[in-house]
Structure 1
C-alpha cells in the first residue's frame, strides 16, 4: 500500500437494516470520509446518530448497503469472510468501553490472544512484543495477573496493549474511557496519545466525553447518520 493512500476511504457509504421490509430503515446516509496514517480522530454525536453502526462497518463487522469502503486501499465490498478476517487482522485493533478481557487468562495471555487466533501459535517475537508493550504501559509487574486482580484502569490498559500487539495501522476505540472514573479515564487517554506518538498508529475514538474529544487532533460529528462537521482541532 502506498504511504499516501488513506487507511480508510468512504465514498457514498450507506447502511440500512431490514432491507426490503416495511420497517426498512437507513442509518448511514451517503458518508464520505478519509482517515490517514497517524491521525488521532474523535467521532462524536448524540445517541442514535449512527456512531456504533459506522464503527461496525469500519471494523468489517457489518457490510455497507451501498457505496464504497476501502481499507488500506482495498475495496471491501464483495470480499469473502476469510479475506475480511485477514484484512481485519492486518489493519485494525479494537478497544471497547468494556475491556472484554478473558477472565481465566493472564494479562500476557490476553495480549497475545489476537496473534494466537491469527497464526494458530504465539511466536517468541510476538510474546516478546506483548511483554514489551505491557512494560511500556506500566504493567510489567502484572504480566501473570488475571483481569479480576487488576483495577478498571489497568484492565483497560491491557485491552490497549492487546489492540496494539499486532501493530495495526489503525485502532478503533469505542468509548474507551466511558466505564472509568475521571482519573482513570485521563490516564488511559494519556496512554493512547503517548502510544499514538511513539508508534504512529492512527486512532478513531468514539466518545461522548467533550474533554476527550477536545484533546483529539480532529473531530468528526455525526448527526442522524450524516457528517455535519469534520474539523481539525487547534493544538493546545
Structure 2
C-alpha cells in the first residue's frame, strides 16, 4: 500500500504545483495522477489473494485512495480548462494589440505623407526634399502593411482554432471586427504606396528648375570670376618696356 500512497502523494503534489502554472505543469500532474490510478488498479487485483478480513480492509483503503485520486483528477481537469481559457484570452489580447499597432502605424504614415499632399507645402519643397519625403512615406507604408499582414495571419489562426469551440459564433464576430479594422488601416495608407501623378510631375518640374538654377549659378560664378580677373588686371600696372637702341650714323 505504500506504493499507492506514494503515487497519490506525488499526484497531489503535482496538482498543487500546477496551480496557476503553464501547460507543462498540468501535463506533469496528469502523468502523476495516471500512475497513481494504475497503482491502485494493480493493488485491487492483489487484495483478492488476501484473507477475507485483510481483503476488506485493503479494499476500503484503496477505495479511499480512489476517491482522493478522483478529486485530484477533477482538479486537474478544472485547471486544464482554466489554462485553456487563459491562453485563449491572451491570444485575443495579442490579436487586439497587433491590430492597434497596425492602426497606429497607419495614422503615422498618413501624417508622414501630409506634406507631399499639401499643395502649399509641396510648392516650397525642392526636388530633393520631395524625393526624401517620398522615401520616408513609402517606408511608413511598408511598415504599416507588414503590421497588417502579421495581425491578419494571427487572426486567421484564431479563426481556425475557434471553429469547434462552444463560443465559436461570439469569437467569429469578434475576429470579423478585427479584420474590418485591419482593412480600414490598409485603406488609410493606400495613397502612400507611391507618389501620386501630380507630385511626380511636380518632382520632374522641380528637378528641371533646380538643374537650370544650378547651371545659372555656375555661369554666374564664372562671370564673377572673369570680372574679378578683369578688375585685377586693370588695377595692376603694365610692366615698363625698354626703348629699342637707335643705331649711330657714320659707322661706315
Q: Give the shorter-chain TM-score range.
A: under 0.3
Between structure 1 and structure 2, the one with the greater Rg is 2
| TM-score normalised according to structure 1 size | 0.19
Bigger fraction of residues in helix? 2
Bigger fraction of residues in strand? 1
| TM-score normalised according to structure 2 size | 0.18
Higher RCO (C-alpha 8 Å, min separation 6): 1
